[in-house]
Amino acid sequence: MKDDDLKNAIEKLELENIKMEHVSKIGEGAWHNVYKIERNLEKDLVLRIRKKIAYGQLQAYKEIDLITEYESSKVYYQQANQCSFNICPSVFDYFLEESSVFTVECFMGKGKILQCLSDSEAFTIGKELGEFFKVMHRKNPDIQGFGNIIWNGKYLEGKVKQETNYIWQKDNDFYLCILNSLTTSDLTFNREIVENKIVNLIENRRKNVQKISLVNQDVTPENIIFNIDNVSLIDPFPRLDFDLKYAGYFVFSYKFLLPAYSNASRYRKHAYNQNSSILNRIADGFMNGYISDNENLYKCLLDEYILWILLEAYEHYETLIESELDPKTLQQMGDKDMIKNRLTLCLNELENLSLDNSFTFFNKRGF
């Protein structure tokens, strides 16, 4: 990161009278270097300067992709704030030039670090998030369509334009298709139990069409600011998809995905495996906030969790078939041995969940 990029951004924002001692680096993700700008009379700001190299590779300037990404964040922040006051930055803007790309938004606080959260704080934060996502998912999105969101030159739209029922049936067909790939593979797992479970689950799922909502595909703790009783969400990765499916994704991320991925270099520094009990409490709180005590909704959420494990197993299996891993996959998923081990973990979880009923899931997970 060159100082020049930072100075240039501050100039563009017409904040030249800000002294450099009021600008400090507060974080960094895979894509941005992040600075806080302290101001005397107005709210502090956050400047996110886009890295030119991400995942070890020089990133080409692709304007449409950048507009898509930042306009999606803007819309997500707006809708989120309508659902829960100030859960996301109320100001968000971005600047695009081939030589410099940056965003500016409100500073949302420092938050507690994950490992310092007590059991009850983790549960409370999870519950708050669950309650928020429930309202967020109920809202009709301003963006039409389904799937990945794209900027068409004038406005954002979902890439898929088919009718909801058709998309829903396709979604269900897809799971049966990946189930078939796994059961006809040479992998070792209890095919009969898993197949039975998934086929029944999908048969039931087909009848309960879910709602298309604006969902967030990146709910990792790096993008959540753990202010107790005032949690904030930043850096969303929105898409249009089914509500319960993505509530299940949150639970899946916190109970399984994050601990399971902590050996990959992208996630190693966060040591999520050492904090798995805190992540678990966040997920428990989330379920409590999202479903309250609706037994049927709980069952459906658990089914979605199982389907995410199935998808994860399939993606690991597919990745192993490839002769060489690209640098991004290597960083995010790890080497072939790590992928093999994680695949075994997925298959074990899938078998256990196919045997268990939801009651044991409750207990095993400390709900």
List contacts with Mg ion (CB under 5 A): 29, 222-223, 235
Interface pick for ligand ADP out of 5, 9, 10, 32 (rule CB under 6 A):
32
Nearest approach in angstroms of CB 215 to ligand ADP is: 18
Burial zone of 367 (CB within 10 Å; 0-12 exposed, 13-18 middle, 19+ buried)? middle
Site for ligand ADP in 217-276 (CB under 6 A): 222-223, 225, 234-235
70-82: string of b/e by CB count within 10 Å (b at 16+)?
bbbbbbbbebbee
One-character DSSP codes across 227-248: -TTS-EE-S--EEEEEHHHHHH
Pick one of ligand ADP, Mg ion, none as the site partner of residue 107 (Cβ within 5 to 8 A by kind): ligand ADP
CA distances from 338 to 99, 213, 329 (A): 38, 34, 12
**Helix or strand run (H / E) with residue 196:** helix 191-207
Comparing CB distances to Mg ion, the nearer of 235 and 284 is: 235
Question: How many Cα atoms sit within 13 Å of 160 on the Cβ side?
Answer: 16
Q: Rounded to a whole number, what is the distance in angstroms from the first to the last CA of the chain?
A: 44
> How does strand 212-216 pair with strand 238-242?
antiparallel
Identify which range of 24-32, 58-66, 266-274, 339-347 contacts ligand ADP by CB under 6 A. 24-32
Nearest approach in angstroms of CB 130 to Mg ion is: 21
Identify which range of 27-35, 66-74, 149-157, 248-256 contacts ligand ADP by CB under 6 A. 27-35
Tally Cβ neighbours within 10 Å of residue 286.
29
Nearest approach in angstroms of CB 220 to ligand ADP is: 9
Pick one of Mg ion, ligand ADP, none as the site partner of residue 89 (Cβ within 5 to 8 A by kind): ligand ADP
Comparing CB distances to ligand ADP, the nearer of 18 and 26 is: 26
Give the list of residues 6+ apart from residue 240 with CB closer than 8 angstroms, or none.
141, 143, 145, 146, 147, 149, 158, 212, 213, 214, 215
Per-residue binding letters, 72-111, with ligand ADP (x by CB under 6 A): -----------------x---------------x-xx---
Site for ligand ADP in 193-222 (CB under 6 A): 222
Size (the chain), residues: 367
Nearest approach in angstroms of CB 92 to ligand ADP is: 9
Give the nearest residue (CB) to ligand ADP. Answer: 29
Residues that bind ligand ADP (CB under 6 A): 26-32, 34, 46, 48, 89, 105, 107-108, 222-223, 225, 234-235
